[in-house]
Amino acid sequence: METFEQMLATPPSWLDASGPISNVVLSTRVRLARNLEGVPFPMRAGSSDLERVRDRALAAASAGNYLANALVLIVDEKAQSRRQILVERHLTGREFLGAGPGRAVIIGDGELVSAVINEEDHLRLACIKSGLMPMDAWRLVERLDTELEQNLHYAYSSDWGYLTSCPTNVGTGMRVSVLMHLVGLVRSNRIAQVLGSISKLGLSVRGFYGEKSAALGGFFQVSNQMTLGQSEDDIAYTVERVAGQLVSLELEARSELTKKGGHRIEDEVHRAYGILTSARIISSDEMMALCSSLRFGITEGFIDSVNLATANGLLVSTQPGHLKHFDGRDPGPDRRDRIRADLIRRELASGSRA
């Protein structure tokens, strides 16, 4: 089991670009919402209930295989900076930014599987894999779920399926999210039309780190809206299929852009690289835009001195919580932009990460 510090020393494994279609899909996340029978949902439960939930969940995790030797983080009032980092690494949702009783996170090797305790639900199990992997990620989190269920009694209705704190999760409790880099569709002004048709297929789309990451960098999260009335396999398959169609459109857009504006694009992506490796002040917005250009340059074969994993890693390691951690204190906005630039230069100089 590694420590929190060791975990932070490298980007999450789901950013390592080892998975299929990594040129367009950064990662696939599948999470299951689960609650314990006979205990109120976290919003309505008292501290002692929540602490009991936590202890039972931790016990179940250690009794199994997938999280037996995992990193356990107790996320109490003192853990404020940790909480921000957990959100930035997609290990917990944004509601975890505030403190709450009985909260904990269990994180497996490479952040591949994890369990969040007492967030919106008693238990959120997740698997994040590199590339486009809805079925594989679902299979893995399913095995974790089955394993934990041997020691936990889930709230389940034969009519509704798994019961959850928010009605939108009832049924399978499953959310499949695919993190995509749709830079070609954004640049060719086709993104609005494409995303419009996605929502008609029952999928939702958000920016990776809020709206700006979408507008500036073309980083989108595509996920299912429905959790009820479909099997988990169907949900995973639907997301995989739709994401696959997006991939085709994206690759088509990129190839057209490169064909039409080869020299201009080659120039632009190299400039992005030049600024990333040279600038001393880089805002979060600019980083997102430059990182997008850098990824584009790598996938289109213009840039070979940086690999995709390094470019992906920057998206997480340059977030405010991470920078605060590296700096050992809250740097404030001005210094933060300088630390971000320093970190980017270091990461790009250390070059090719596995």
The piece of 54-62, 93-101, 158-166, 272-280 that touches a copy of itself (CB under 8 A) is 272-280
Q: Which residue in the set 52, 139, 212, 270 belongs to the binding site for a copy of itself (CB under 8 A)?
A: 270
Report the alpha-carbon distance of residue 56 to residue 123 in Å, rounded. Answer: 11
* End-to-end CA, the chain: 21
Q: Tokens at residue 131, please?
A: 């590339």
How far lies 127's CA from each of 14, 67, 113, 227, in Å? 9, 12, 4, 17
Report the alpha-carbon distance of residue 180 to residue 76 in Å, rounded. Answer: 33
What are the residues whose beta carbons fall under 8 Å from the beta carbon of 23, sequence distance 6 or more? 251, 299, 308
Which residue number, 44 or 280, has a Cβ lying nearer to a copy of itself? Answer: 280
DSSP alpha helix (H) spans, the chain: 4-8, 47-63, 80-88, 134-149, 183-187, 191-200, 211-217, 232-276, 284-299, 308-317, 320-327, 332-350
Single-letter amino acid, residue 17: A
Which residue number, 123 or 275, has a Cβ lying nearer to a copy of itself? Answer: 275
Q: How near is the Cβ of 275 to a copy of itself at its closest, in Å?
A: 5
Which residue number, 272 or 315, has a Cβ lying nearer to a copy of itself? Answer: 272
Which residue number, 279 or 315, has a Cβ lying nearer to a copy of itself? Answer: 279
* Helices and strands in the chain, H and E counts: 12, 10
Binding mask 281-300 for a copy of itself (x = CB under 8 A): x-------------------
Report CA 147 to chain centroid distance, whole Å: 24
Q: Does 261 bind a copy of itself (CB under 8 A)?
A: no
CA 349-212-220 angle, to 5 degrees, is 85
Single-letter amino acid, residue 333: P
Single-letter amino acid, residue 225: Q
Closest CA to 35 of 159, 147, 124: 124
Which residue number, 71 or 341, has a Cβ lying nearer to a copy of itself? Answer: 341
Q: Does 259 bind a copy of itself (CB under 8 A)?
A: no
The interface with a copy of itself within residues 141-200 (CB under 8 A) comprises none
Q: How near is the Cβ of 344 to a copy of itself at its closest, in Å?
A: 11
Q: Which residue in the set 153, 241, 260, 264 belongs to the binding site for a copy of itself (CB under 8 A)?
A: 264
Which residue number, 62 or 277, has a Cβ lying nearer to a copy of itself? Answer: 277
Closest CA to 30 of 121, 145, 119: 145
Q: How near is the Cβ of 337 to a copy of itself at its closest, in Å?
A: 9
The piece of 96-104, 122-130, 241-249, 274-282 that touches a copy of itself (CB under 8 A) is 274-282
The piece of 99-107, 116-124, 149-157, 279-287 that touches a copy of itself (CB under 8 A) is 279-287
The piece of 116-124, 239-247, 259-267, 322-330 that touches a copy of itself (CB under 8 A) is 259-267
- Residue 117 β-bridge partners: 104, 123
Q: Are 314 and 346 in contact (CB under 8 A)?
A: no
- Residue 116 β-bridge partners: 105, 124
Q: Which residue in the set 94, 260, 271, 346 belongs to the binding site for a copy of itself (CB under 8 A)?
A: 271
Which residue number, 8 or 281, has a Cβ lying nearer to a copy of itself? Answer: 281
Binding footprint of a copy of itself, residue count (CB under 8 A): 18
Q: Does 334 bind a copy of itself (CB under 8 A)?
A: yes
Which residues of the shown chain bind a copy of itself in the complex (CB under 8 A)?
263-264, 266-267, 270-271, 273-281, 334, 338, 341
